Amino acid sequence: MDNIAIKVTDLEKVYKLYDKPSDRLKEALRIGRGKHHTEHRALKGVNLSIRQGECVGIIGTNGSGKSTILKIITGVLSPTSGEVEVNGRISALLELGAGFNMEYNGIENIYLNGTMIGFSKKEIDRKMDEILAFADIGDYVYQPAKTYSSGMFVRLAFAVAINIDPEILIVDEALSVGDVFFQAKCYHKFEEFKEMGKTIVFVSHDLSSISKYCDRVVLLNQGVKLGEGSAKQMIDTYKQVLVGQYAAPEAEGERLVDDEQLRQMAAKGVDGSKLEAQKAEKQSGMAENPELLEYGSKKAQITEYYITDGKGMRTSTILKGSAFTIHMRVEAAQRINAPIFAFTIKNVRGTEITGTNTMIEKAFLESVEAGETKDIAFTQEMNLQGGDYLLSLGVTGYEGDDFTVYHRLYDVLNVTVISDKDTVGFYDMNSKVTVK
């Protein structure tokens, strides 16, 4: 297709791991029989297409293959098998100091990096003032790179990458090193790039940034692509992976899943009979999600949930500035040592806005016996801006040192906030203003 910026087909990357340097030498010289290495498959038959003008996020746990696939796309690594097609000039920010000569000063490294990407000296000269202004590292630009702090590396590297007019920008986690003001400046550039129709591929553990900036998200785990789709759905599924509640596909016969299939797979094997019974009996006015995402070990289960306003009436519409209460009933199937009851409120893009739990609030630190029922109520004032939000509920805890999810319900209720005064951002700080 003409509008494809990056296309990855059946991508495999296998690393040879040696116990000691001599094993590598023996294998190179063919001394002895058999292999002297073990193989690690970092990527397993990954397929991916990124259209021109898209901002695509790649998420996954450490060791999932995120950085490997970016290095192959940018040509830093060669694939073991598979094909990569890139249509457009790439600028990449992969690792701290990558592409820098430690003996060169900042100016010399700008020319070095620009030349490596394919720019002439005249083109770099025209961009030099913009690069230096964006990096804002002062006279350090005339010092050797080996004297730079990690923050200076990132500022200069990103200034080069972003200001030389690439058609495709690839960023791997590096922005987390810069200070908050520099990060804000970088994300502003992301917005400009999106408006200009540039292609951005973005790897980060900052799920809020992934949710805010990415049109589409790809989820990798142990070298396999679990799925791709909306930021909200992929982030929810990623959280399942983090707590061991998602079974990774086998390497052979990779299963690709879309948003709707992920919902079905995540809920597979979960007994939703009690929730279904509640839905059948629910009161009018409660905006429940018929396709909620549900998982957990079910040693404890959320059997009822609802919201009440300041007058105690069940509703999912809350007036900004008024009190409201989130209710959940939990039944324990087994004895649980100090369960943690929690709620989270997200916007429609999946960004977590606020939330808390009984451990943070030091509200409940006791054990619950098998068969026991607990009614939990979180009461607070609604200070979110007017609009629609999604409520998620959870029961978790620790078994020894292991964090365990007993039951989670993602996006279980829609909460609508009615407001006659919306301020800037997600919530209202209720400022008291005086003018003299």
Q: What is the pLDDT of residue 255?
A: 46
Q: What is the pLDDT of residue 272?
A: 45
Q: Are residues 191 and 236 in the same domain?
A: yes
- Count of domains forming the chain: 2
For 208-259, the DSSP string reads HHHHHH-SEEEEEETTEEEEEE-HHHHHHHHHHHHTT-SPPPPSSSPPPB-H
Q: Are residues 78 and 205 in the same domain?
A: yes
The whole-number mean pLDDT for each consecutive block of 10 residues of the chain, a chain of 436 residues, reads 87 85 73 73 93 93 90 91 92 73 91 82 90 90 89 85 85 71 80 88 85 90 92 87 69 46 46 45 57 88 95 91 96 95 91 94 94 97 94 95 93 91 91 95
Domain-located, residue 147: no
Q: What is the pLDDT of residue 149?
A: 85
How far, in Å, are 73, 179, 211, 217 from residue 48 at the CA level? 11, 32, 19, 11
pTM of this prediction exceeds 0.85? no
Domain-located, residue 54: yes
CB 135 within 8 A of CB 141: yes
Domain that holds residue 22: 4-88+167-260
CATH number of the domain where residue 363 is located: 2.70.50.60
Q: Are residues 361 and 414 in the same domain?
A: yes
Q: What is the pLDDT of residue 246?
A: 74
Q: What is the pLDDT of residue 97?
A: 61
Q: Are residues 212 and 320 in the same domain?
A: no
> Which of 226, 241, 260 is the last residue in one of the domains?
260
Q: What is the pLDDT of residue 191?
A: 83
Q: Are residues 326 and 194 in the same domain?
A: no
Q: Are residues 218 and 328 in the same domain?
A: no
CATH number of the domain where residue 178 is located: 3.40.50.300
Domain-located, residue 15: yes
Q: Are residues 243 and 280 in the same domain?
A: no
Domain-located, residue 251: yes
Q: What is the pLDDT of residue 433?
A: 95
Q: Are residues 232 and 373 in the same domain?
A: no
Where do the H-state alpha helices sit in 136-179? Answer: 150-163
Instruction: Tell me how far the alpha carbon of residue 408 is from its chain's centroid.
Output: 19
Domain-located, residue 434: no
Domain-located, residue 391: yes
Instruction: Tell me how far the alpha carbon of residue 145 is from its chain's centroid.
Output: 31
d(CA 38, CA 76): 23
> Which of 226, 260, 294 is the last residue in one of the domains?
260
Counting beta carbons within 10 angstroms of the beta carbon of residue 153, is it exposed (0 to 12), middle (13 to 18) or buried (19 or more)?
A: buried
